[in-house]
Amino acid sequence: MHLMEGDLPTSMSGSCGACVHGKLYVFGGYDDKGYSNRLYFVNLRTKDGTYVWEKITNFEGQPPTPRDKLSCWVYKDRLIYFGGYGCRRHSELQDCFDVHDASWEEQIFWGWHNDVHVFDTKTQTWFQPEIKGGTPPQPRAAHSCAVLGNKGYVFGGRVLQTRMSDLHYLNLDTWAWSGRIPVNGESPKHRSWHTLTPIADDKLFLFGGLSSDNIPLSDGWIHNVITNCWKQLIHLPNTRPRLWHTACLGKENEIMVFGGSKDDLLSFDTGHCNDLLIFQTQPYSLLRSCLDCIGKNAIILKNQISLLPPKLLQQVLKKITFWTAANHREEQRIQKEETDNKYQWISSN
């Protein structure tokens, strides 16, 4: 845990976070005061371990209207935001906005967006690019975005009572939409609150979300953008559903999923998670496999470990620490289960 200083963002839900050159930018979100269009950042690469938040107020251009549950592409030092649910005044209504509700007295409208807004982190400038062609996705929120090359992909999300399973991309150089991408073969079911993560130059990994039937999902899919085919990963555990989580790529193409909820947040608010799920999308390297083997069998190999070269020894010691902690946690979990079962047996008898 690191203490944060400076102009900290207020507690929000549905904010959008993205990193550019070690700086974490957080935009938008929702709290008890309504929707936000504020932008904050913190430098995560400080030398002294001090993390200081700054609210960006000295910017050029016009920021997006207040909203939450939007997504972001990072491309050429730019934060490119798409969609989200939020509010607009009557004078701000456009075709990019699908109205859900309205307060006629205050002339405020709530609904879903499909507009694109760009923040240039070098010039501190907001601008809205002119879309040069193609059919844009319909307005939505709680969708997912990912970048491959110069293409910003968007999948799924929700508008009104409908959850979607369509895939589109925006060319981030020409600002042209692809239209709905036709899929060959099977495809994931409709969903929102999922994640889409690049795992190779031509592949995307889709995980979890909330289905059209309000069922938390635990399925994982890989999309090949060359063949336009989806392939479901059948080895994933189906007992670990997640929605509104975060996901990122590890050093060896494993997907790391953190946080979120295992319950339908629209009905329950008790399933928040703080564990880390790790999914392999390809075999680990020979070095990684050897390090894991040594780490798991450190007691047997203790006389040989000290003979390793210094650089390799450092990696081995890290693995030993990791597997020692992992084994300790597993022992605690088993012990807790045995204790719970014992009390349950006593109470039932």
Q: Please provide the average confidence, as pLDDT, over all residues in the chain.
A: 91
Residue 208 has pLDDT above 80, yes or no: yes
Structure confidence at residue 157 as a pLDDT band (50, 70, 90): very high
Q: Which residues pair with 183 in a beta bridge?
A: none
For residues 201-219, give the mean pLDDT: 95
Residue 128 has pLDDT above 90, yes or no: yes
**Looking at residue 170, what is its pLDDT?**
98
Quick count: other Cβ atoms within 10 Å of Cβ 269?
A: 10
Task: Please give the Cα distance from 175 to 243 (Å, whole number).
Answer: 30
Task: Please give the Cα distance from 197 to 146 (Å, whole number).
Answer: 6
Give the number of C-alpha atoms closer than 13 A to the C-alpha of residue 188, restricted to the C-beta side: 36
For residues 162-166, give the mean pLDDT: 95
**Looking at residue 103, what is its pLDDT?**
62
Please list, in sequence order, all residues whose beta carbon lies within 8 angstroms of the beta carbon of residue 303, skipping any fewer than 6 positions away: none
For residues 257-274, give the mean pLDDT: 85
**Looking at residue 116, what is its pLDDT?**
97
Give me the residue label for tokens 């997912």. 144
Name the least confident of 32-46, 101-115, 143-157, 294-308: 101-115
Maximum separation of any 2 CA atoms in the chain, in Å? 79
Tokens (6 digits) for 220? 């994982």
Name the least confident of 84-98, 115-129, 179-193: 84-98
pLDDT in tens, 300-316: 998 999 999 999 999 99
pLDDT in tens, 67-97: 999 999 999 999 999 999 998 877 777 767 7
**Looking at residue 104, what is its pLDDT?**
56
**Looking at residue 281, what is its pLDDT?**
83
**Looking at residue 215, what is its pLDDT?**
93
pLDDT in tens, 269-302: 778 999 899 998 888 889 999 999 999 999 999 8
Structure confidence at residue 216 as a pLDDT band (50, 70, 90): very high
Please list, in sequence order, all residues whose beta carbon lies within 8 angstroms of the beta carbon of residue 239, skipping any fewer than 6 positions away: 218
- Kindly report the pTM of this predicted structure: 0.86
**Looking at residue 95, what is its pLDDT?**
66
For residues 124-139, give the mean pLDDT: 94
Structure confidence at residue 234 as a pLDDT band (50, 70, 90): confident
Task: Please give the Cα distance from 119 to 139 (Å, whole number).
Answer: 20
For 322, the 3-state DSSP assignment is: helix
**Looking at residue 180, what is its pLDDT?**
96
Per DSSP, 58 falls in state S
